[in-house]
Amino acid sequence: MSDQMPHPAPQFLTVGEGEAAREIALLVRPAKAGDGAPSLVWLSGYRSDMSGTKAVELDGLAAELGLACIRFDYSGHGLSGGSFRDGTISRWLEEALAVLRHAAPERVLLVGSSMGGWIALRLAQELARQGGPKLDGMVLIAPAPDFTSELIEPHLTAKEKKSLAERGYFEERSQYSPEPNIYTKALIEDGRDNRVLDGIIETGCPVHILQGMKDPDVPHQHAMKLVEHLPADDVVLTLIRDGDHRLSRPGDIALLVSAVKGILRSSANIEKPA
């Protein structure tokens, strides 16, 4: 997809108070269409940011369709302030909620990648509890809800457990960066408080999951488990036989675009009078 449209300038939003205050960078593309269509909201993965391939392609799709698009960087990521090591699911969720309140869309379609899928599911819960924009749908790319308790804790080595106890974090070699992944004790403990795979998840909207079957980070069985926790929603699971974790190849992007457009069509049909 071509993304030759003008890029919006980044804004900065202060989230938190006192020592917890951090500057969150966001990019908001205004809508051109005046039909009340949902804003596309990008939610990045762990150590990813709003300038990645999928995020930029989503923004390009919004420009093509005349839709609003909201992207932002979690604290400790990309252009945002704050320390990465201070990051927790609760902290990043607080930032996502603050960005939505600031941008104030009436309707949203959440697109979450990896950890962003977890943030999307928690956002749905918090929007239902607190009020906010209407949630028209979700597209989840290799979603990693509860990854700290489901995918990290059960496989901790004795060395990693010792590092957590003595240093408060452990490091893991990254396949995507020369810098190691850092997982803190605070992230893992907070992850337990944000679990979503411990009961029924009610998003109240259609959900389309894209999952690679050769994903070394989030096994496709994890996506299938998520589907089991969404019994009340209209859920589509697309398994990509040779897909990796990033799902950023042209064919993967085409599937992402198709999934977003499918939910947009469904949303438009629901809004039309009978």
pLDDT digits 0-9 by tens, 84-133: 999 999 999 999 999 999 999 999 999 999 999 999 999 999 999 999 99
Burial class (CB in 10 A: 0-12, 13-18, 19+), 33: exposed
Contact by Cβ (8 Å): 175, 216 = yes
CATH of domain 13-271: 3.40.50.1820
Contact by Cβ (8 Å): 195, 149 = yes
Q: How confident is the model at residue 6 (pLDDT cuts 50, 70, 90)?
A: low
The per-residue pLDDT for range 37-66, each reduced to its tens digit, is: 999 999 999 999 999 999 999 999 999 999
**pTM of the predicted protein model:** 0.94
Q: Is 274's pLDDT higher than 50?
A: no
- How far is Cα 13 from Cα 24, in angstroms, rounded to an integer? 5
- How far is Cα 71 from Cα 56, in angstroms, rounded to an integer? 9
Residue-range domain boundaries for the chain: 13-271
- How far is Cα 2 from Cα 257, in angstroms, rounded to an integer? 12
